[in-house]
C-alpha cells in the first residue's frame, strides 16, 4: 500500500509540475505575443485621455476600448509607481523597476488605442481640440499640432508647489518624476565626494554634508527616512570619514510633520527621527533659497519670529502640489471654474463643473479628497465604469429605436416578439443606467519613516487602526508590492530589495 501510495503521489506531483510549467509557459508566451487588435472605429466618439499617471491609467485599464476611438496623450510613455519613488533616490529600488511602459498594457486592449508622446499645451474648450507639442531630440525642433475630441479626460496631475519663493526652482530638487529621483541620487554622491575632496575647509565639508528637506508631508518624511537608511547601511561603512559630519534636517512650516496622520503616529515618527538623528525643525517657514543656504523664519515658543540662514549641500523641496498651467488655462475658459483655486472643480460624476463632455481625475481634479494615488486610481476606475455604461446605454437606446420602428410595421407573432425584445431592452437599459455618483473608499494611509519602520492609519472594520513599527513596515512592503502595476514590476522590485540587502546600495555616481 505504501509503495503504491508513493508511486501515485510521485505521478500526481510529476503531472501537475508539467501542467504547471506548461501553463506558466503559455502565460509568458501570451504576454510576449499579443494578438492583433481591432482597429479604432472612426465612426465612434473620440475619447482623448491626457496623462499616463494613476488616474488615467486606471481608467484605461478598465475601459472597454471597443466603444470609443481612444487617444492617449502624455509626455511620459510609461506609468510611474510613485509610492516607491523615494527609494529610487538612494538606489534601493532602481527606477526602471517601478516604470511600466504604457504600450505594455494598451497592446492588450480589445481595440487599439493611439498613444502620442507629447505635452498637451492647451485645451481649446470651445473648438473641442487639444493642442499638443512634441519636443523630440531626434528631430531637433518642436512639432505642434491639434487633436480634436468628443470626450476629454484631464488626468495631468499637478506640479510642484513653490509658492513663488525665490530660488526654489533654480537650486532645489523636487521629487515627483523619475528624472527628479535620478538627479537627487547623483547630487547626494556629488555632495559626498566633493566634501571628502582634498583640502576642503571644515565649514564647506559641513555644508556639503548637510542634506535639507523642506516639507514635512509624506514625500519629505519618506525621503528623509530613505536617505538616513542609505547613510546607516552603506555610506558610513564605506566612507567612515563622513560618519560624524553627515546630517539630515527636515523643515516644516506647521507645528508638526505628517499632518494627515493621527497624533500618536506623528509622535512616533518624530521620536523615530530623533533616534535616527534626523533633525526636525517645525514652525520654520522657508522664505528664500540661494545656491548655498536657505533663509527660514522660525517661530519661537513666545510667538516671536527670527530669521535664520541654513547652509545645505542637497536641498529637496517637497511642499505639495500646484495647478499645472494647462489646467489653470482651462479653468479660465469656463466661467463656473472662476472660484476654484487648487484645480478643476468636478461634480459627483467627475464632470468638470460648467463644461460638457470634459471629465477630470486625480491631482488636477478637486473633489474634496486628498491628492493621493488611491483617490486617483478609484476615480479612474469609476470613469471607466461610467464610460462603459454610457456606451452600452447608447447602443441599447439605438436598438430600442429600431425595435419601435419595427413594431409599428409588424403584426401577429412578429409583433409579440418585437414587444418582448423591447421589454428586455428597457430592462437592460434600467440596469446599465443604475450607476451612482463617485464614492471614495479610503483604505488608509501608509508612510515609510526609515530604520525599517513605517506608520499606518488603516480603515479597519468601521473604525481606524493607527499603527507604527517594524511589523507595519512589512505590511507597508507587502501592500506596495501588491499594488505594483504588473508582475514584472513586482519581480524587479523584489530583486532590487534582495540585491540592496545583500550587496548594499550602489554608490557609484552616474
Ligand atoms: P500623476 O500620477 O502625477 O500623472 C500625471 C500624468 O500627466 C503623467 O503621466 C504626466 O506625465 C502627465 N502630464 C503632465 N503634464 C501633461 C500635459 N501637459 N499633457 C499631457 N500629459 C501631461 N499617493 C498615495 O496614495 N500613496 C503613496 O504612497 C504615495 N506616494 C507618493 C510618493 C511620491 C514621491 C509622490 C510624488 C507622490 C506620492 N503619492 C502617493 C501621490 C500620488 O503619486 C499622486 O496623488 C498621484 O500620482 C496622482 O495621480 P494623477 O494621475 O492625478 O497624476
Ligand atoms: P504635502 O502637501 O502633504 O506636505 C507639504 C508640507 O510642506 C506641508 O506640511 C506644508 O506645511 C509644508 N510647507 C509648505 N511650504 C513650506 C515652506 N515654505 N517651508 C516649510 N514647509 C513648508 O506634500 P507632499 O508630501 O509633497 O505630498 C503631496 C500629496 O501626495 C499629498 O496629498 C500626500 O498625501 C500624497 N503623498 C502620499 C504619500 C503616502 O501616502 N505615503 C507619499 C507621498 C505623497
Report the C-alpha gap between 238 and 504 in whole angstroms. Answer: 10
Tell me how many degrees the CA angle 88-92-96 measures, rounded to the nearest 5. Answer: 50
Are residues 316 and 463 both part of a single domain? yes
Question: In terms of residue numbers, what domain contains 7?
Answer: 1-33
Report the C-alpha gap between 166 and 76 in whole angstroms. Answer: 29
pLDDT at 171: 98
Is 83 within the bounds of a domain? yes
pLDDT reading at 372 higher than 90: yes
Are residues 88 and 11 both part of a single domain? no
pLDDT reading at 462 higher than 80: no
Are residues 55 and 86 both part of a single domain? yes
* Cell numbers standing for residue 170: 533654480
Q: In the structure, what pLDDT confidence band is assigned to residue 136 with cuts at 50, 70 and 90?
A: confident
Tell me how many degrees the CA angle 447-448-449 measures, rounded to the nearest 5. Answer: 115
pLDDT reading at 460 higher than 80: no
In angstroms and rounded to an integer, the radius of gyration of the C-alpha atoms of the chain is 27
Among 215, 265, 287, 296, say which to mutate for ligand 2: greatest number of ligand atoms within 8 Å of CB. Answer: 215
**DSSP structure string for 431-480:** HHTT---------EEEEEEETTEEEEEEEETTEEEEEEEHHHHHHHHHHH
Which of the ligands is closest to the CA of residue 85? 1
What's the CATH number where 210 sits? 3.50.50.100
Give me the helix-helix angle, 412-432 and 373-409, nearest 10°.
170
Are residues 377 and 342 both part of a single domain? yes
Task: Look at the chain and count its residues.
Answer: 510
pLDDT reading at 292 higher than 80: yes
* Cell numbers standing for residue 124: 481649446
Is 67 within the bounds of a domain? yes
Contacting residues for 202 by C-beta, under 8 A, at least 6 apart: none
The CA 258 to ligand 2 mean position distance, Å, reads 8
pLDDT reading at 104 higher than 80: yes
Contacting residues for 70 by C-beta, under 8 A, at least 6 apart: 40, 47, 49, 60, 63, 109, 111, 113, 114
pLDDT reading at 242 higher than 80: yes
Domain stops at, among 410, 432, 454: 432
Torsion sign, CA atoms 339, 343, 349, 351:
positive
Alpha-carbon distances of 501 from 224, 472, 495, rounded to whole Å:
19, 19, 10
Is 509 within the bounds of a domain? no
Q: In the structure, what pLDDT confidence band is assigned to residue 410 with cuts at 50, 70 and 90?
A: confident
- Calculate the dihedral angle through the C-alpha atoms of 172, 174, 175, 176, rounding to the nearest 10 degrees: -170
Q: In the structure, what pLDDT confidence band is assigned to residue 503 with cuts at 50, 70 and 90?
A: very high
Strand order across the beta sheet in which 210-214 lies: 278-281, 247-251, 210-214, 314-317
Is 92 within the bounds of a domain? yes
Are residues 99 and 198 both part of a single domain? no
Are residues 415 and 381 both part of a single domain? no
Of 4, 192, 180, the closest CA to residue 76 belongs to 180
Place of cell 530583486: 495
Are residues 63 and 138 both part of a single domain? yes
- Structurally, the chain folds into a number of domains equal to 4
pLDDT at 124: 98
The CA 421 to ligand 1 mean position distance, Å, reads 46
Report the C-alpha gap between 136 and 133 in whole angstroms. Answer: 9
Are residues 178 and 286 both part of a single domain? yes
> Among 30-39, 80-89, 116-125, 264-273, which stretch is predicted with the lowest mean pLDDT?
30-39
Is 308 within the bounds of a domain? yes
* Residues lining ligand 1, Cβ inside 6 A: 50-56, 73-76, 82-83, 85-86, 119-120, 155-157, 175-176, 219, 324, 326, 362-364, 371-374, 376
83 three-class SS: helix
Are residues 199 and 285 both part of a single domain? yes
Are residues 103 and 203 both part of a single domain? no
The pLDDT tens digits of the residues spanning 303-331 come to 999 999 999 999 999 999 999 999 999 99
Is 510 within the bounds of a domain? no
What pTM, to 2 d.p., does this model score? 0.94
Report the C-alpha gap between 163 and 285 in whole angstroms. Answer: 11
The CA 315 to ligand 2 mean position distance, Å, reads 15
The CA 242 to ligand 1 mean position distance, Å, reads 35
Which of ligand 2's atoms lies nearest the C-alpha of 320? 23
- Calculate the dihedral angle through the C-alpha atoms of 477, 482, 485, 491, rounding to the nearest 10 degrees: 70
Among 48, 50, 54, say which to mutate for ligand 1: greatest number of ligand atoms within 8 Å of CB. Answer: 54
The ipTM value here is 0.98
Among 320, 370, 480, 483, say which to mutate for ligand 2: greatest number of ligand atoms within 8 Å of CB. Answer: 320
pLDDT at 85: 98
Report the C-alpha gap between 47 and 359 in whole angstroms. Answer: 11
The CA 363 to ligand 1 mean position distance, Å, reads 7
pLDDT at 138: 84
Which of ligand 2's atoms lies nearest the C-alpha of 260? 34
Is 40 within the bounds of a domain? no
- How would you classify the pairing of strands 247-251 and 210-214? parallel
Are residues 51 and 16 both part of a single domain? no
**Exposure letters 298-334 (e unless 16+ CB within 10 A, then b):** beeeeeeeeeeebebbbbbbbbebbbbebbbebbeeb
Amino acid at each position: 500500500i505504501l509503495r503504491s501510495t508513493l508511486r501515485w503521489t510521485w505521478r500526481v506531483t510529476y503531472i501537475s509540475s508539467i501542467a504547471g510549467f506548461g501553463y506558466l509557459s503559455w502565460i509568458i508566451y501570451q504576454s510576449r505575443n499579443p494578438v492583433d487588435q481591432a482597429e479604432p472605429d472612426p465612426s465612434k466618439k473620440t475619447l482623448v485621455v491626457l496623462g499616463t499617471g494613476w488616474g488615467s491609467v486606471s481608467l484605461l485599464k478598465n475601459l472597454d476600448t471597443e466603444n470609443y476611438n481612444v487617444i492617449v496623450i502624455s509626455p511620459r510613455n510609461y506609468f510611474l509607481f510613485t509610492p516607491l519613488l523615494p527609494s529610487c533616490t538612494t538606489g534601493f529600488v532602481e527606477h526602471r523597476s517601478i516604470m511600466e511602459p504604457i504600450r505594455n498594457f494598451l497592446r492588450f486592449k480589445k481595440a487599439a488605442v493611439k498613444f502620442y508622446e507629447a505635452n498637451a499645451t492647451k485645451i481649446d474648450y470651445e473648438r473641442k481640440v487639444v493642442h499638443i507639442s512634441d519636443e523630440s531630440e531626434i528631430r531637433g525642433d518642436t512639432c505642434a499640432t491639434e487633436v480634436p475630441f468628443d470626450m476629454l479626460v484631464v488626468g495631468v496631475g499637478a506640479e510642484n508647489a513653490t509658492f513663488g519663493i525665490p530660488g526654489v526652482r533654480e537650486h532645489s530638487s523636487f521629487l515627483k518624476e523619475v528624472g527628479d529621483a535620478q538627479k537627487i541620487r547623483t547630487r547626494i554622491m556629488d555632495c559626498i565626494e566633493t566634501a571628502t575632496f582634498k583640502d576642503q575647509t571644515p565649514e564647506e565639508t559641513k555644508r556639503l554634508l548637510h542634506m535639507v528637506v523642506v516639507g514635512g508631508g509624506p514625500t519629505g518624511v519618506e525621503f528623509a527616512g530613505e536617505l538616513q537608511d542609505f547613510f546607516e547601511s552603506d555610506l558610513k561603512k564605506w566612507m567612515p570619514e563622513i560618519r560624524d559630519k553627515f546630517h539630515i534636517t527636515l523643515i516644516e512650516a506647521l507645528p508638526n510633520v505628517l499632518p494627515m496622520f493621527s497624533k500618536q503616529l506623528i509622535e512616533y515618527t518624530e521620536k523615530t527621527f530623533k533616534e535616527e538623528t534626523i533633525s526636525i525643525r517645525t514652525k520654520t517657514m522657508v522664505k528664500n533659497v540661494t545656491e548655498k543656504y536657505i533663509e527660514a523664519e522660525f517661530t519661537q515658543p513666545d510667538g516671536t519670529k527670527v530669521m535664520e540662514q541654513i547652509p545645505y549641500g542637497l536641498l529637496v523641496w517637497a511642499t505639495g502640489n500646484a495647478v499645472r498651467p494647462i489646467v489653470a488655462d482651462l479653468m479660465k475658459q469656463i466661467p463656473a471654474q472662476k472660484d476654484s483655486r487648487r484645480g478643476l472643480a468636478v461634480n459627483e460624476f467627475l464632470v468638470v463643473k460648467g463644461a460638457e463632455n470634459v471629465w477630470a481625475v486625480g491631482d488636477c481634479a478637486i473633489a474634496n479628497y486628498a491628492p493621493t494615488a488611491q483617490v486617483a486610481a478609484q476615480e479612474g476606475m469609476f470613469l471607466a465604469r461610467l464610460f462603459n455604461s454610457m456606451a452600452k446605454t447608447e447602443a441599447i437606446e439605438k436598438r430600442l429605436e429600431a425595435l419601435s420602428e419595427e413594431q409599428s410595421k409588424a403584426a401577429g407573432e412578429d409583433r409579440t416578439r418585437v414587444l418582448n425584445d423591447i421589454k428586455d431592452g428597457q430592462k437592460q437599459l434600467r440596469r446599465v443606467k443604475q450607476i451612482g455618483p463617485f464614492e471614495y473608499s479610503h483604505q488608509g494611509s501608509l508612510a515609510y519613516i526609515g530604520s525599517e519602520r513605517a506608520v499606518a492609519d488603516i480603515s479597519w472594520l468601521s473604525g481606524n487602526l493607527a499603527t507604527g513599527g517594524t511589523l507595519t513596515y512589512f505590511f507597508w512592503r507587502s501592500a506596495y508590492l501588491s499594488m505594483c502595476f504588473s508582475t514584472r514590476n513586482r519581480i524587479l522590485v523584489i530583486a532590487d530589495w534582495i540585491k540592496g540587502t545583500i550587496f548594499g546600495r550602489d554608490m557609484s555616481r552616474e
